[in-house]
Structure 1
Amino acid sequence: MPSIHETRRLPYSAKQMFDLVADVGRYGEFLPWVVATRVKSNDGREMVADMLVGFKMLREKFTSRVVFDAPRELTVHYLDGPMRDLDNHWQFRDVDGGCELEFDVSFTFRNPLFESLAGQYFDKAFRKMVAAFEERAAKLYGGEPA
């Protein structure tokens, strides 16, 4: 199962970064390949949302449950879509001069061939998405993206 772990130190507070990541309804404004999002329910502790992801003519819809522990962590559980599994976990800690963000993601495709192909591009796609979050933070909170 492909997975990745990333730790970043950013010049924003843990709450600012938590709020940015938790704002799933706005992902279509800045995340690559996210065509649209729809928040189906959100009680402040848990959200269920659909995300339409596309590249050229391909479009796939994912449904996830997002569990919040503001402003410390956010966990995403895959509910439905083209994959067998897709989970990610975010942790946010205030440190001198900003926050430390830890991110883990792992996935399994239903089709082993797709998983093999995706694994080859996963790191590059992940880096592009991390950069999009950093650029969004700079736009919302000021400063330069890392």
Structure 2
Amino acid sequence: MPRHHETRDLPYSAEQMFALVTDIARYPEFLPWVIALRIRSDSEHESVADMIVGFKGLRESFSCRVHKQRPHEVIVSYIDGPMKHLSNEWHFQPAAGGGCRVDFMVDFSFRNRMFEALAGQMFDKALRKMIAAFEARADELYGAGSATSSEGRSASFSG
């Protein structure tokens, strides 16, 4: 069962990062392997979405509920699909020198043993690619290249 926890200090506000993570309709534009996404419902505090992901000819769809507590927390809970379980959490805390600390956790396992084996082999690389995609999207939306943008980036990994 792949599980990962990561903390990043980014030069963007908690509100900006919250807005980016909760704009799930745009995920197919920048997240690798997200082929399509349909939002079933969306409100200030909760969204329900169906997502199709694909990798090397494999395609799977799943549904999840996104709990939103602006601007500090996003918790994704699994509804149905090919997984045994999926848990994903984002926490955003303003940083003393500006920007914010992003705390990210994902934990999942597949029902299908083949997918579970593939996930185990590819998990670390895939996760880093997805985290990089969120960071690149933040740079695109909120402006990379400022002194804060390059100096404010540090990463600490745990898990």
TM-score normalised by the chain length of structure 1: 0.95
Distance in 1 of aligned mates of 2:136 and 2:124: 18
The aligned length equals 146
Higher deviation after alignment, 1-10 or 109-118: 109-118
Matches within 5 A, 1:1-146: 1-95=1-95, 96-144=97-145
**Secondary structure, aligned partner of 1:6:** strand
1:48-91 Cα offsets, whole Å, 9 max, x none, are 00111112322111100000011000000011111111110000
Shift of 1:102: 0.3
Amino acid at match of 1:46: E
Segments of structure 1 that go 5 or more residues without pairing to the other structure are none
The structure-2 alpha-carbon separation of the partners of 1:57 and 1:112, relative to structure 1 and needing over 3 Å to count, comes to closer
Distance in 2 of aligned mates of 1:22 and 1:111: 29
Distance in 2 of aligned mates of 1:139 and 1:94: 20
Distance in 2 of aligned mates of 1:51 and 1:117: 19
Amino acid at match of 2:62: F
Distance in 1 of aligned mates of 2:30 and 2:50: 16
C-alpha contact (below 8 Å) 2:6/2:104 kept by paired residues: yes
Higher relative contact order structure (alpha carbons within 8 Å, sequence separation ≥ 6): 2
Shift of 1:113: 4.4
**Secondary structure, aligned partner of 2:50:** strand
Percent identity over the alignment?
A: 59
Distance in 2 of aligned mates of 1:123 and 1:38: 27
